[in-house]
Structures are given as structure tokens and as C-alpha cells.
Amino acid sequence: MNLEQQAIRNILGAHTMDFHPVVPFDPNRDRLYPFDFTENNKELRPEQIADTESFAGYINETLRQHGARYGIGGYGEHRTLYARSRHFDAGEEPRRLHLGIDVWGPAGTAVMAPLDGIVHSFAFNNNDSDYGATLILTHHLDGMGFQILYGHLSLNSLKNRHEGQSISKGEVIAEFGMRFENGNWPPHLHFQLIVDMEGWKGDYPGVCKFSEKDKWLANCPDPDLVLGMMRYIT
């Protein structure tokens, strides 16, 4: 981890109570369910993962059983579910380590900006199991910049966007997309912090090779520093 990466972690940690909620969530009323998509999850069968409708049924039924508004989790998780698509299998070593936090909930769920920023870039990454509609914002805190990537959005979230566009804290910037526009996934938000975009625009890897995890996790700090939801898991 370089000095810039550590400095941004320290700054985010110092501001952790200052960010606007990213999704509508009332910790006094709503519940969160922590999904585990590693090999430890024996309930979710491979054939369910491969079929998006069955996968969505598993998500929805689990949330219903636990009385949870959203499912959440996944940062630094070594996920077997990425075997569902060749999108993660290029090269000798497949990509399986997740670099963001996922918030699972209904399509159309509002996504809000946690702080002021500008639009860095956006794109429709329309590959099977990719991000689908994707928005990336740039933010500055205490003189240092970083990015937040929002993946699996609706196509409507990208309308009337332009690079450099100003975004206000608390502004509704997007919504959870449906499977035809979100990369063929059950509806959810992929929320990822990125220190250095390394030249990427409209896209940035959200899953890496396990052998390269230290490098990627250093550049993608724990998203809950901004999201602030993991402490409400019951």
C-alpha cells in the first residue's frame, strides 16, 4: 500500500459519520442480511447461480425469510459464483476475489451520492455478468481525490450524463437495474472505492485474481468506509 492509498483510507475513516446514505435505509426499522457467496454457502446450488431467475428467487426468498430490506456484503470475498460466466475466466487463473460491496434489493431502488462530486465517466458494459449500466464519480476530501464506481444500474441512470457534471451530496444519481440492463444479475448495486483509476473510463475491474489480491485491495479500500452499513447487520 502506497502513501496515497493509506492517506485516503485515513481521511475516509475520519469522515465516516459525514456521508449521506447511498440507499434508502433506516437502521431503526430496516434489517440487513449478510450474504455469503463463497464455497461456504451450501444452500445456493451451482444450477441456481447459473440461472439468473433462480438466483434472484434465492435472493428474494432469503431476504423474505429474514425480514430484511437488503442483502449486503462481499468486500474481499473469494466467490465461487463467478464460475457462472466466462467473463471472469480469461487467462490461466480465473478472477474470483470481489473488490466492492454489493447491496441486494429491488430493481428501481434509489442510489444517492454520499458526498459532492463530479461525473468521472459512465458506460453500458453490456457483457454477460458484467456491470451493465455503470457510473463512476470523482470526489475530493481534505485535498485528496478518489472515485466511487456504481455498477448494475438502470440504463435510465445514464441519461443526460456528461463527464465533469456536478453531483450534490444526497442527490439521487441512479437506481438498481433489471437483468436486461445490469449485466444479467439479480437486482443489486455494486459499490466500489477506487484510489487510482489507472486510465480506465466507464469501467474498472470489480473482481480480481486471488494471487493479485494485495495490489487490487490496496487500490480499492473497504467501501463501507463510505457506505457505513455493515455495522447494522444483525
pLDDT in tens, 74-92: 999 988 766 554 555 566 6
Q: Which domain holds residue 100?
A: 3-232
In angstroms, what CA-CA distances link 76 with 66, 96, 100, 104, 111?
24, 10, 7, 17, 22
The predicted structure's pLDDT at residue 78: 86
Residue 99, all three cell numbers: 473488490
Domain count, the chain: 1
How many CB atoms within 10 Å of residue 178? 18
pLDDT, position 15: 96
* CA 50 vs CA 20, 44, 127, 134, 227: distances in Å: 35, 11, 15, 22, 29
Report, as an integer, the average pLDDT of 212-228. 96
Mapped onto helix, strand or coil, the DSSP state of residue 15 is coil
pTM of the predicted model, to two decimals?
A: 0.94
- List the beta bridge partners of residue 163: none
Evaluate whether 114 touches 169 at the Cβ level (below 8 Å): yes
* Interval 178-203 mean pLDDT: 96
Residue 158's domain is classified under what CATH number?
A: 2.70.70.10
| Residue that the C-alpha cell 449486503 belongs to | 72
Among the residue ranges 29-33, 37-41, 189-193, the one predicted with the least confidence is 37-41
- Sign of the CA dihedral with 209 first, then 214, 219, and 221 last: positive
pLDDT band for 30, please (50, 70, 90 cuts): very high
- What is the pLDDT, as a whole number, of residue 1? 82
Q: Which three cell numbers stand for residue 221?
A: 479500500
What pLDDT is attached to residue 90? 63
Residue among 157, 115, 172, 159 nearest 138 (CA) = 115
